[in-house]
Amino acid sequence: MPMIDRQGRKITYLRVSVTDRCDLRCVYCMAEDTRFLPKAEVLTIEELDRLCRVFVRKGIRKIRLTGGEPLVRRNVMALIAGMGDLVADGSLDELTLTTNGTHLARHAEALAAAGMRRINVSLDTLDPVRFQGLTRWGRLDQVMNGIMAAKAAGLAVKINAVALKGVNEDEFDRLVDWCGRQVFDLCLIETMPLGEIHADRIDQYLPLSEVRARLERNWTLKATDYRTGGPARYVEVAETGRRLGFITPMSHNFCESCNRVRITCSGTLFPCLGQEEAIDLKQPLRSSESDLPLELAIDRAVDRKPEGHDFVIERDGVPTVHRPMSVTGG
């Protein structure tokens, strides 16, 4: 039975945060002293595997693993191999990953071997000094090695870059050009008011409408009807032939076609990224060997999927949603 919510939206896409931990501290995502969950609260790899399989039985066709940084989770490759088997036997259409790329060089071949075809790598700048500043201590060369290893392993790479006022706003032409030459798609993301990060988000917020207008001075952006069911709206860059996506979560233009739900690494299901509404799946998962309580909890959650979100960046920088992206995984 497919999962269909009250608005008639078919839920086919699951994003799974496999850890809240990360080896970087991107300034818009985490505070330097972010505290992570105690181990006991985090689902084991076996529990995550079981949870994903229940969702697949309930009609999920696409899974994206995220975090925190998914590739810092010990034994995450066992989960990926297990999900890869579901792709191989046709129960799942696609398995993908969003990563910061720091550990990609080591894992790229295994990811491809597990049946992964595409990955998203987050990269906000091509400047090593800026990269270090933005991530607080990251090394650009490590990420570049990871990206090139992914490309060599045959994975299609999409680069995600968050648009930050006064930080990387002079780099978008360069990113479009670089992605074109590397044959990567690029997605630009507006900052979202999630989590407390000790910075005034109004200062970082850069509307993508402005970015797009500036890009159009140098590039021919052709309309496409390519859609993923998510918030991104895509154009094709005529000069490079690559797709360029704009994720503007502050606008409500995608909620009506939203096909996704998210689970955190501690087994909380969020039917909507932009609402506090949450349903605990850890208790039904841990309390019974039968999957029935879990299935009932998932049904209740889908039934409560909100019609839309209500992000607002307020002057005082108080986020409307208090959990950071590293918890729900973006």
CA distance 233 to 231: 7
83 touches which of ligand SF4, ligand SAM, none (CB within 5 to 8 A by kind)? none
Rounded distance between C-alpha atoms, residue 113 and residue 318, angstroms: 44
In angstroms, rounded to a whole number, what is the distance separating the alpha carbons of residues 63 and 12? 9
Least separation, in Å, of the C-beta of 121 and ligand SF4?
Answer: 10
List of residues 6+ apart from 88 with CB closer than 8 A:
115
Which one of ligand SF4, ligand SAM, none is in contact with 268 (Cβ closer than 5 to 8 A by kind)?
none
Q: Find which of ligand SF4, ligand SAM, none residue 263 binds, CB within 5 to 8 Å per kind.
A: none
**Residue-by-residue DSSP string for 16-27:** EE--S--S---T
Shortest separation between residue 104's beta carbon and ligand SAM, angstroms = 11
Q: Smallest distance, Å, CB 69 to ligand SF4?
A: 5
CB contact at 8 A, 211 and 168: no
For position 231 contacting ligand SF4 by CB under 6 A, the verdict is no
Residue 126 CB, shortest distance to ligand SF4, in Å, is 16
Using CB under 6 A, pick the residue from 3, 22, 189, 265 that binds ligand SF4: 22
Yes or no: say if 18 and 266 are a contact pair by the CB < 8 Å rule. no
The yes or no reply on residue 122 touching ligand SF4 (CB under 6 A) is: yes
Kindly tell me which of 58 and 262 has the beta carbon lying closer to ligand SAM.
262
Residue 29 within binding range of ligand SF4, rule CB under 6 A: yes
**Size of residue set near ligand SF4 by CB under 6 A:** 12
The correct pick among 125, 168, 326, 328 for binding ligand SF4 (CB under 6 A) is 326
> Phi, psi (5° rounding) for residue 63?
-120, 130
Radius of gyration of the chain (CA): 19
Minimum Å distance from CB 122 to ligand SF4?
6
- The one-character DSSP state at 318 is -
- Per CB under 6 A, does 70 bind ligand SF4? no
Q: Are 179 and 242 in contact, with CB atoms under 8 Å apart?
A: yes
Our finding on whether 68 is near ligand SF4 (CB under 6 A) is: yes
Please state the length of the chain: 330
